[in-house]
Structure formats: C-alpha cells, structure tokens
A and B are shown apart, each in its own frame.
Chain A
Amino acid sequence: QQKVQQSPESLIVPEGGMASLNCTSSDRNVDYFWWYRQHSGKSPKMLMSIFSNGEKEEGRFTVHLNKASLHTSLHIRDSQPSDSALYLCAASIGNNNRIFFGDGTQLVVKP
C-alpha cells in the first residue's frame, strides 16, 4: 500500500482562481510533510513544509496540517498559468531518513 496518497489526480482551475490539493498518509509514524512543485521535464522544487498542526502561509500558498487525520492540504490563491505543474506531496515516516512521495496532482491553470 502506498504510504502517501494525493488527490485529485488532476485539477483545472481558471486564472485567478483557488487551487486546493490534498495529501494523506496511511502511516501513523509520519512526522513531516513537504510540498514540491515539478514543471514538465524539470526537477522538483520545494514550496513549503509543515510538521505542526495548523496553517502556514507564504505569499499565495497556504498549507494546512491535521496530524490526527494525517492530512495536509496545499491551497494556491490567485492561480497563474505559470503555476501549471505537477505538485508532489512528500512525507517523512519513521524517523529513518526515508522520504515517501505521492503520485502527485497535475494542476492546469487556464488563462
């Protein structure tokens, strides 16, 4: 069973709209989440990380974490066409230097 699940698989939002992406771990030993963005043919770049319950905001990006449900979400407001990319959720599970990635959410922002 995959340890990190992301939804939806793909998402289309209009320019200026809000994109909401979800990520859940199936393992209670998860202790840290990261969100990465990967443009087509490029390497991933980190957007944000979170390990405490609550919310963290950086510019147009907001991340939420609910540790009880092992769920994190990424929200992008005022989405731009340049935000179109694969968004990857990663989790640290078990405090053993291992990181697990989800399959990603493909975001398309339509002008």
Chain B
Amino acid sequence: AQTIHQWPVAEIKAVGSPLSLGCTIKGKSSPNLYWYWQATGGTLQQLFYSITVGQVESVVQLNLSASRPKDDQFILSTEKLLLSHSGFYLCAWSTDFYAEQFFGPGTRLTVL
C-alpha cells in the first residue's frame, strides 16, 4: 500500500525566516506530485506539480519554490517567509493527472 508522509506537522516561524517543508511517498514509483496551499478559510490552490524527478512546474507565484530531488520526495521552500504564507500546506500524489489525488496529512504553518 502507498503511504504519504509530510513533515513537519506544524511550524511557527518568524517573518523573514527560511522554510523547508517535505513530502515523501512510499510504495509508488514515478508518481505525479503536487503542492497545494490553503489559507485559513480560503480556497485550496495548486502551487507546483512534478511528473518526474528534477522537473517541477510552478502554477502560482507566491515567493515559494519546489524541488523533487528523488522520485519519492517533494520539497517546498522559501528563503524569506511572509505573513501571507501562513496556512495549510498539502502534498498530494497521483498515478496520472486525471486519476484520484491522494493527499498527505498536511503541514500547518503560522508566520508571525
């Protein structure tokens, strides 16, 4: 069975500090990977997607970057956090674009 793990579970960070969020998928080779962001009470927004190692496409510009260093790993990062980065970050995988997306448990980020 496939499992998806996100880390950390929650973060409280200062404005201007760096951030790195991670996502690992086990039990599935060559998955499509996605990062989403959901502001509190807001709409779920796709941030990035990746269909293969080393290739990441940006969907929304939020002063964030993403990388896929390994087949099963997806990293979201920024060098300088903004207050507007607060929210719920979700990683997801699917076998192909039109298949069901399986979401991880999410990381709740608070920027102060």
Contacts and interface: CB of A to CB of B under 8 A. Distances in A.
Interface stretch (B11-19, B70-78, B79-87, B103-111): B103-111
Interface string A74-101: 0000000000000010101000011111
Contacts of A98: 46, 49, 59
In the A-B complex, list the 3 residue pairs whose CB atoms are closest, starting with the nearest. Answer: A43-B103, A101-B44, A46-B100
Given A97-B49, A97-B51, A44 B97 contact: no
Contact of A49 (B34, B49, B100, B106): B100
Given A43-B103, A97-B51, A103 B43 contact: yes
Contacts of B101: 34, 46, 99
Nearest to B34: A99
Contacts of A101: 43-46
Interface of A: 2, 32, 34, 42-46, 49, 51, 88, 90, 92, 97-104
B46 A99 contact: yes
* Chain B: interface size category: 20 to 34
Contact of B103 (A2, A45, A100): A45
Contacts of B90: 43-44
Contact of A44 (B32, B44, B49): B44
Given A43-B104, A43-B105, 14 more contacts: A34-B100, A42-B106, A43-B106, A51-B98, A90-B44, A97-B32, A98-B46, A98-B49, A98-B59, A101-B43, A101-B44, A101-B45, A102-B43, A103-B42
23 contacts: A32-B98, A34-B100, A34-B101, A42-B105, A42-B106, A43-B104, A43-B105, A43-B106, A44-B90, A45-B103, A49-B98, A49-B100, A92-B97, A97-B57, A97-B97, A98-B46, A98-B59, A99-B34, A99-B46, A99-B101, A100-B46, A101-B43, A103-B43
